[in-house]
Structure 1
Amino acid sequence: MTYPTLEAVSKLRAVLLGVEGLAASLTALQSYYGMDSEMVDGVDVGVMRAPAELQEKAGAARYPVIQTYCDQIENKRSEQFRVFSGRMRVVTEVRVSSDRLEGLAEKLHFYVDAVRDVVERNGGCLGDGVFLEPGYEVSFDVVKKGGLNYLQVGQVVCWLGVSR
C-alpha cells in the first residue's frame, strides 16, 4: 500500500496542472486583471514546503512560485475495515515577487484567484479514494523583503477526504 500523504497531494497537483486546471483559470482571469500572456505561460506547481529564503539560496526560485503540500492529517478511522479514513489539510501556497510595490498585490490576487477557481470547479472525487471536500480558506501575508526585492504570499487551504 502506498503512503497516502504524497499521493493525495499529487492528486491535487494533477488537478491544478490538468487541462482544465491553472492554465485555463489564468487565461479566463487574464483580461479581468489586465495581465499579459507571459504571466500565464509556464506556471508550474511544485510539491514542497520550504521558506522563500531557503529556496532563493538554493537558486530554485522562479516567480511566481506555487507549491502544494500537506500540513495536517486527521485519521478518524470512521470507516470500518479501512486503515486510513480521514482528512488531509492541503495548502497551495502562491508567492509573487517584484522590484516594485505597485502591482504586487494584483499579481498575487491573480494567481490565488486562479487556484481558488480550480478548487471550486473540481470538488468531489479525484480518484483512488481521494475526495476534494467543498469549501476552502484563503489567506494573504503582508509584503516583506525577499525575492526580487519585495515578496508577498497567499495560501489556499482545502481538505482532501481519504479512504484507504
Structure 2
Amino acid sequence: MTFPTMEVVSRLQGLLAGEWGLGTSMASLQGYYGLSPEATQEVAVGLVRAPAEFQEKAGSTRYPVIQTYCDQIENKRSEQFRAFSGRMRLVTEVRVSTDRLEGLAERLHFYVDAVRDVVERNAGCLGEGVFLEPGYEVAFEAVKKGGLNFLQVGRVVCWVGVSR
C-alpha cells in the first residue's frame, strides 16, 4: 500500500503547531533569550517551499515565517513485503526579518532553538509506520536584503523513517 508524502510532512507540522509544540518551547526559552512575551508572538507553520521574494510578492508576509517541507526521499526497500521502507528528509525553514541588524541573529536563534526543541522532545514514533529519528542538523544563512529590510534564514533538518 502506498502513502502520500504530505502525510509525513503534515505530522511534523502538527507537532510544531500543536499544544506542546512551538508555543511551549518558546515559553521555556524566553527567559534565556531575555525576550518579552510580546516579542515572541505565535507563529503559523506553513507547508510551502518558496523563496522569500515569491512569498512577499504573493501577498502580505508576516515575519517570522516557518515553513516545513520534504526535500529528499530514500526508498531503500530494506523490509521485505513493504512497498516503501526508507527515510524522508524534512526541513523546517525559519525566516526572520527586521529593519535593523541588531537583534536579528538572536531572534533567528530563538525560533530555530524552539523548532529544535520540538524535534528533540518528539523523537520516536509519530504514528503507524512513521518514526522521527533523534538526530538533526541546523544551518544558518548569512543576512541578506529582503523582508522588512534585512532577512536571515535558519534550517532544521531531520530524518523520518517510514515503513509501509
- TM-score, scaled relative to structure 1: 0.96
Is 2:80 aligned against 1:85? no
**Contact (CA 8 Å) 1:72, 1:89: kept in 2 or not?**
yes
Secondary structure, counterpart of 2:20 in structure 1: coil
Is 2:100 aligned against 1:100? yes
Partner of 1:121: 121
CA distance in 2, matches of 1:39, 1:160: 32
Task: For 1:98, give the aligned amino acid.
Answer: T
Unaligned runs of 5+ in 1: none
CA distance in 2, matches of 1:58, 1:114: 27
CA distance in 2, matches of 1:55, 1:26: 25
Q: Deviations over 1:107-150 (max 9, x none)?
A: 00000000001101110000021110010000000000000000
Partner of 2:22: 22
Secondary structure, counterpart of 1:133 in structure 2: strand
Q: For residues 49-88 of structure 1, what are the structure 2 equivalents within 5 Å?
A: 49-88=49-88
**Contact (CA 8 Å) 1:23, 1:40: kept in 2 or not?**
no
Secondary structure, counterpart of 1:135 in structure 2: strand
Task: For 1:132, give the aligned amino acid.
Answer: L
Give the CA RMSD over aligned residues.
1.1
CA distance in 1, matches of 2:131, 2:40: 28
**Contact (CA 8 Å) 1:63, 1:97: kept in 2 or not?**
yes
CA distance in 2, matches of 1:35, 1:4: 39
CA distance in 1, matches of 2:2, 2:51: 28
**Contact (CA 8 Å) 1:91, 1:155: kept in 2 or not?**
yes
Shift of 1:31: 1.1
CA distance in 1, matches of 2:2, 2:31: 42
Shift of 1:19: 1.5
Shift of 1:18: 1.5
CA distance in 2, matches of 1:148, 1:84: 43
Shift of 1:60: 4.0
**Contact (CA 8 Å) 1:98, 1:150: kept in 2 or not?**
yes
Partner of 2:140: 140
Shift of 1:80: 0.9
**Contact (CA 8 Å) 2:45, 2:66: kept in 1 or not?**
yes
CA distance in 1, matches of 2:3, 2:71: 15
- Matched residue pairs, number? 164
- TM-score, scaled relative to structure 2: 0.96
Q: Deviations over 1:54-78 (max 9, x none)?
A: 0000114210000000000000011
